[in-house]
Structure 1
Amino acid sequence: MRTTLFDGVATAIRRTLPQPLSTVSWYGQQEAHRVGYYDAIRQCGLVGFGALDSELLDAQAALAGATGWWWAFERVCVMAERPCELHTEPSPGGSEDERRLHHPNRAAIEYPDGTRSFVHHGTIVPEWVVLDPTAERIGRERNVEIRRCAIERIGWDAYIEEAALTLVDRTGDPGNPGCLLELYDSPGGWGAPGRILLAVNGSLERDGTRRRYGLPVPAWAPSALDAAGWTYGISGSDYARLVRRT
């Protein structure tokens, strides 16, 4: 519950707040894991609770189940509404049914007043990444993770075609049998002049897939093997001798 609510949902909600209020220091639904822990101890009779402690725990459990964040002051308690939309998917590799925020074509979390956050497989992204990813917008994006998510949304093949990337070299990946290494000239907007090495992850992701990803490499890399070797700090000829990479 802590992984799902506190690490996942609470982080996305914080992104919706105005900058001066970008932190939330009080309690709410994201505290269900903490309240639930003490409630389970009480129900199992593992620890004795005094009357005041039980009363406080009951109040916190009711609040966690009925409202969003809340702030208690001396004479006033401010309560926030819970989201009206919240979409999740199973977290890859989770052992306790952990969830992460995600929706493929709309906001993953939204409030009745229209405040919302877009999340791509657990990564908080700008609205355009989910609703209208384009090569032009990807080219202007400086955040590597956001750029990765946007390219995943349209697919590398579509991105390469739309961005009109120039293929420099293509060869089989000796450390990853059956997969290709592709070297492209990088488009404008990716920072310093360079190239992009398109490769396939050498090991399985937590969800069992093999991710295809692009790595910025120096402009001087003449071949895909040299570019791949550079990412490991070795020469292209040494990389060509790899039996298996991970």
Structure 2
Amino acid sequence: MSSTELRIEKLNSRQLKLLEKCREEWRLNGLGKGQTDRVKAEAAIKAAYRAVGLAEPRVIVWLKSPWAGNSASRILESDIDWPYHLNTAQLEVWDAVWKQCPRQLEAISGEAHWKEVRRSLRLSAEKKVIEREGVLLEKYLKDQFAENMGIYIWHYLRSLAGANVSKKLREEAENQVKSAIEGRLSALAAEQIYHELVQPVHLQVWSYVAEPLKQRIPTMSGILAGPQKWQINYGLHDSSWLSYYDFVDRLGIEGTTPLKGLTDLARNAGWVWAYENLCIMTDRPLEVHRDNRFRIHAEDKMCMRFGDDWGLYAWHGVLVPPYVILLPEPLTFDLIESEPNAEVRRVLIERFGLENYLREGKVVKMHQDNAGILYRMNLESDEPIIVVRVKNSTPEPDGSIKEYFLRVPPTMQRAKQAVAWTFGLTEEEYDPLVET
């Protein structure tokens, strides 16, 4: 560190205000939605390759969701050579990838060679159609040629792609930056940035949005089923760790340039699967809906939807099957009881209404005193539901008294104890005469 480079011991008020602005920008970026700027995103990923000494990817393909990107990556790393092994959604990914590649592969192999490839594939298609149909029909020829071209291009991409370099793009660039900024921040200043900037962005962007995506994406069926590798650059969902270095740059500390490509990528794209010579890029979501605690949530549609109409359904952060959100007919007690997943069943109970669920279920009265009545309902493969039934201390305008069912922890044994818990008090501390 030269004598002109100052060391920051503790963030001052001006720097803390700058941190707040940076935090809000990266939070909004990570929760972003809308159209993707593919031109800027491609420039960003090329810069990220160059930053770690790699040549720019020779082929770039775009898909509309991280599920599609993951499917393409798994097809690429498999030995599938026939598209009919795939299910309908996977076949759409197969087609979407190869149809983007002819011009890019022509640029790599040369015009003359590519013309010869097309001629050979067409002759093969003509032969297959005649063998199958007895006559050369243009419609069948077109379909057979497209099938041959798709198979050829996927074989070519496998031989071209090379190793996955997603991890390299991050680790080597980050190590360069760490070395360049070493000594410019005290441990206290670095801790301030981590707790005031990185942690909040990580919670809202990664924990509440990206992590649910990671849970749902690997649910591959058929030939693509199997262990999941997470060799990915997460684009906009890398906002938390990138925010640290962006803020360091805003403090006037030099040396963060190697991460500029990944930073620009996060501002302009979704998830990316990077290989030595091939890059699979995906768009940002078109819609993201959250509750007031920033958890993904929507009551009547996908909480996160991408351009290919793949997405997530969630209820206050809990991933649920589509039927839980889209079910057209009213929920029933039997439907709830038939749901095998305990977490999903809790969501269904919440939607059905706890009071309705208890009225239709097998409820056991555990205890009764002046505070209310404590009930227990046993559930298969889940903890029991314990509720306390209480009366409102203030009559309604018509003189009636409203009753409420309040869910309490399974450890509650007495009604007064349960009511006290709802006020954050012990049974001994609770006095109904001062209840507000």
Instruction: Give the TM-score, by structure 2 length.
Output: 0.40
Mapped partners of 2:313, 2:320: distance in 1? 6
Write the mapping of 1:149-160 to structure 2, written as runs, cut at 5 A: 149-160=347-358
Q: Which residue matches 2:211?
A: 11
- 3-state DSSP of counterpart to 1:182: strand
CA deviations 1:179-221 (Å, max 9, x no partner) are 541234x57xx259x9753348xxxxxxxxx99438789xxxx
Does the CA-based 8 Å contact 1:16-1:117 persist in structure 2?
A: no
Q: Which residue matches 2:386?
A: 197
Which of 243, 248, 252 aligns to 1:41? It is 248
Mapped partners of 1:61, 1:7: distance in 2? 20
Letter in 1 for 2:249: R
Letter in 2 for 1:168: V
Mapped partners of 1:228, 1:64: distance in 2? 53
Higher share of residues assigned strand? 1
Counterpart check, 1:148 vs 2:346: yes
Q: Which residue matches 2:232?
A: 26
Q: Which residue matches 1:138?
A: 336
Mapped partners of 1:70, 1:21: distance in 2? 19
- 3-state DSSP of counterpart to 2:313: strand
Which of 103, 112, 120 aligns to 2:298? It is 103
The percent of aligned pairs where both chains have the same amino acid is 25
Q: Which residue matches 2:375?
A: 182
Counterpart check, 1:168 vs 2:364: yes
Q: CA deviation at 1:58?
A: 2.1
- 3-state DSSP of counterpart to 2:361: coil
Mapped partners of 2:388, 2:428: distance in 1? 16
Does the CA-based 8 Å contact 1:2-1:33 persist in structure 2?
A: yes
Does the CA-based 8 Å contact 2:416-2:427 persist in structure 1?
A: no
Letter in 2 for 1:165: G
Letter in 2 for 1:182: Y
Specify every segment of 5 or more residues in structure 1 that has no aligned partner in the other structure, as ranges: 92-98, 201-209, 218-223, 230-240
Larger relative contact order, structure 1 or 2 (CA cutoff 8 Å, min sep 6): 2
Mapped partners of 2:290, 2:250: distance in 1? 29
Q: CA deviation at 1:151?
A: 0.6
Mapped partners of 1:195, 1:38: distance in 2? 47
CA deviations 1:149-192 (Å, max 9, x no partner) are 2111121122234xx32443275467xx4x541234x57xx259
Letter in 1 for 2:264: A
Which of 196, 201, 213 aligns to 2:407? It is 213
Mapped partners of 1:21, 1:84: distance in 2? 29
Q: CA deviation at 1:42?
A: 0.6
Q: CA deviation at 1:22?
A: 4.5
- 3-state DSSP of counterpart to 2:407: strand
Q: Mark the CA change 1:244 to 1:171 in structure 2 (over 3 Å): closer, same or farther.
A: farther
Q: Which residue matches 1:237?
A: none
Write the mapping of 1:72-151 to structure 2, written as runs, cut at 5 A: 72-91=274-293, 99-132=294-327, 133-151=331-349
- 3-state DSSP of counterpart to 1:90: coil
Q: Which residue matches 2:61?
A: none
- 3-state DSSP of counterpart to 1:105: coil
RMSD (Å), alpha carbons: 3.6
Does the CA-based 8 Å contact 1:29-1:63 persist in structure 2?
A: yes
Q: CA deviation at 1:131?
A: 2.5
Mapped partners of 1:160, 1:211: distance in 2? 9
Does the CA-based 8 Å contact 1:16-1:115 persist in structure 2?
A: no
- 3-state DSSP of counterpart to 1:71: strand
Letter in 2 for 1:35: L
- 3-state DSSP of counterpart to 1:7: helix
Write the mapping of 1:228-243 to structure 2, written as runs, cut at 5 A: 242-243=427-428
- 3-state DSSP of counterpart to 1:36: helix
Counterpart check, 1:2 vs 2:197: no
Q: CA deviation at 1:7?
A: 0.9
Letter in 2 for 1:9: V
Instruction: Give the TM-score, by structure 1 length.
Output: 0.66
Q: Which residue matches 1:61?
A: 263
Q: Which residue matches 2:20?
A: none
- 3-state DSSP of counterpart to 2:291: strand
Does the CA-based 8 Å contact 2:269-2:282 persist in structure 1?
A: yes
Letter in 1 for 2:217: T
Q: Mark the CA change 1:23 to 1:154 in structure 2 (over 3 Å): closer, same or farther.
A: farther
Does the CA-based 8 Å contact 2:285-2:304 persist in structure 1?
A: yes
Higher share of residues assigned helix? 2
Mapped partners of 1:211, 1:41: distance in 2? 51
Mapped partners of 2:232, 2:248: distance in 1? 23
Letter in 2 for 1:198: V
